[in-house]
Structure 1
Amino acid sequence: MSGGPAQRLDRRTVLRATVTPLASILGSGLLIIVPVLEGVLGRWSVLGALGVVAVAWLVGIAVRHGVRAIEPRAADGSLDQTTLRLEKLADAVIVVAYVISVALYLRIMAQYVVQLTAGGSDGLVERIIACGAIVLIVTIGVTRGFSGLDVLDRISLGVVLALTVVLGATLAARGGVDLAGGDLRLPPVPEEGLWHTLLVLGGIVITVQGFETVRYLADDYDGPTRIRASQVAQVLAAVIYVGFVVVATPFMGLGSGDGADATLIDITQRAAPLLVLPLVVSAVLSQFSAATADTASADGNLRGLASWMKGPRPFLVSGAAALTLAATVPTFTIVAVASRAFALYYALICVTALRTCEGWWRKAGFGLLALLMLAIAALAEPAG
Structure 2
Amino acid sequence: MTAPRKPVDRRPVVLASVTPLASILGSGLLIIVPVLESTLGALSVVGVVAICVVAWLIGTVIRHNVIVVEKREAAGTLDRVTARLGVGADGVIVIAYVISVALYLRIMAQYLVGFVDSAGSALWEPVIACVAVALIVAIGAVRGFAGLNRLDRVSLIAVLILTTVLGGVLLLHDLTTASSGSLRLPPVPSLPPLSVLLILGGIVITVQGFETVRYLGNEYDAPTRVWASRLAQIVSASIYIGFVAVATPVMGIGTHAGADATLLNITGRIAPWLALPLVLSAVLSQFSAAIADTAAADGNLRGLNKWFTGPRPYLISGAAAIALAATVPTLSIVAIASRAFAAYYALQAVIAMRTTTGILRKTGFAFLALVMLGVTIFAQPAS
Residue of structure 2 equivalent to 1:78 = 77
Tell me what 2:305 maps to: 306
How has the CA–CA distance of structure 1 residues 336 and 254 changed in structure 2, closer, same or farther, with 3 Å as cutoff?
A: farther
Q: Over residues 200-228 of structure 1, what are the superposed CA-to-partner deviations in whole Å (9 max), with x where a residue is unaligned?
A: 10000000000000000000000000000
* 1:173 partner SS: helix
Distance 1:366 1:271 in 2: 44
**For 1:62 and 1:354, how far apart are their aligned partners in 2?**
9
Corresponding letter in the other structure for 1:119: S
Q: Tell whether 2:162 aligns with 1:158.
A: no
5 Å-filtered alignment, 1:115-154, equals: 115-154=114-153
1:226 aligns to 2:225 (yes or no):
yes
Q: Which residue in the other structure is 1:325 paired with?
A: 324
- 1:377 and 2:341 matched: no
Residue 292 of structure 2 corresponds to 293
Of 184-193 and 13-22, more deviation after overlay is shown by 184-193
CA distance in 1, matches of 2:193, 2:73: 42
Give the equivalent residue in structure 2 for 1:242: 241
User: Given that residues 184 and 252 in structure 2 are in contact (C-alpha distance below 8 angstroms), is that contact kept between their aligned partners in structure 1?
Assistant: no
| Whole-angstrom CA distance in 2 between matches of 1:350 and 1:320 | 30
In 1, the alpha carbon distance for the partners of 2:201 and 2:181 equals 35
State how 1:1-384 maps to structure 2 within 5 Å.
Answer: 10-253=9-252, 255=254, 258-384=257-383
Cα distance in 1 for residues equivalent to 2:341 and 2:230: 19
Is 1:17–1:225's contact at 8 Å kept on the other side of the alignment? yes
Moved more, 198-207 or 245-254: 245-254
Displacement after TM superposition at 1:183 (Å): 3.0
Q: Which amino acid aligns with 2:355?
A: T
Does structure 1 conserve the Cα–Cα contact (< 8 Å) formed by 2:185 and 2:252?
A: no
Of 338-347 and 260-269, deviating more is: 260-269
Residue 256 of structure 1, CA deviation: 5.5
Counterpart of 1:377, as a letter, is T
Q: What is the aligned-residue identity percentage? A: 61
**Equivalent residues of 1:185, 1:255 under 8 A apart:** no
Deviation at residue 173 of structure 1 after TM alignment: 1.1
User: Which residue identity lines up with residue 369 of structure 1 in the other structure?
Assistant: L
Give deviations 1:295-353, integer Å, cap 9, x for gaps.
00000000010111011100000000000000000000000000000000000000000
User: What is the CA deviation profile of residues 241-262 of structure 1, one whole-angstrom value per residue up to 9, with x for unaligned ones?
Assistant: 0000000011005655552222
Tell me the TM-score normalised to structure 2 length.
0.97
State the Cα distance separating 1:30 from its structure 2 match. 0.5
* Count of paired positions: 381
Using the TM superposition, give the Cα deviation of residue 182 of structure 1 relative to its aligned residue in structure 2, in angstroms.
Answer: 2.7
CA distance in structure 2 between the partners assigned to 1:264 and 1:258 by the alignment? 16
1:123 counterpart SS class:
coil
How far apart are residue 270 of structure 1 and its match?
2.0
**Cα distance, 1:192 vs structure 2:** 2.4
CA distance in 1 between partners of 2:297 and 2:42 (Å): 38
Could you say what secondary structure the match of 2:119 adopts? coil
TM-score of the aligned structures, taking structure 1 as reference length: 0.97
- Cα distance, 1:194 vs structure 2: 1.5
Question: Once the 2 structures are TM-superposed, how far is the Cα of residue 267 of structure 1 from its aligned partner?
Answer: 1.4
- 1:113-155 Cα distance to aligned partner (Å, 9 max, x none): 0000011221211000000000000000011000000011000
Q: CA, structure 1 residues 253+328, in 2 after alignment: closer, same or farther (shift >3 Å)?
A: farther
State the one-letter code of the partner of 2:318: G
Alpha-carbon distance, 1:292 to partner:
0.2
Query: Partner letter of residue 373 of structure 2?
Result: L
- Counterparts of 1:208 and 1:80, CA distance in 2: 31
Moved over 2 A (4+): 253-258
Task: Return the letter of the residue paired with 1:11.
Answer: R
CA contact (8 A) 1:253 1:259 kept: no
Q: Render the CA deviation track for 1:47-72: whole Å, top value 9, x for unaligned.
A: 11001010000000000000010000
- Contact kept in structure 1, 2:349 and 2:368, CA below 8 Å: yes
Deviation per CA, 1:266-304: give whole Å up to 9, x if none.
111222211111000000000000000000000000001
Aligned partner letter, 2:154: I
The amino acid across from 2:67 in the alignment is R
User: Could you tell me how far 1:105 is from its partner in structure 2?
Assistant: 0.1
Structure 1 distance, partners of 2:255, 2:106, is 28
Q: 2: distance between equivalents of 1:381 and 1:234? A: 24
CA, structure 1 residues 2+375, in 2 after alignment: closer, same or farther (shift >3 Å)? closer
Q: What is the one-letter code of the residue matched to 2:162? A: L
- Equivalent position SS for 2:259: coil
The alpha-carbon distance between structure 1 residues 263 and 219, as it changes in their structure 2 partners (threshold 3 A), is same
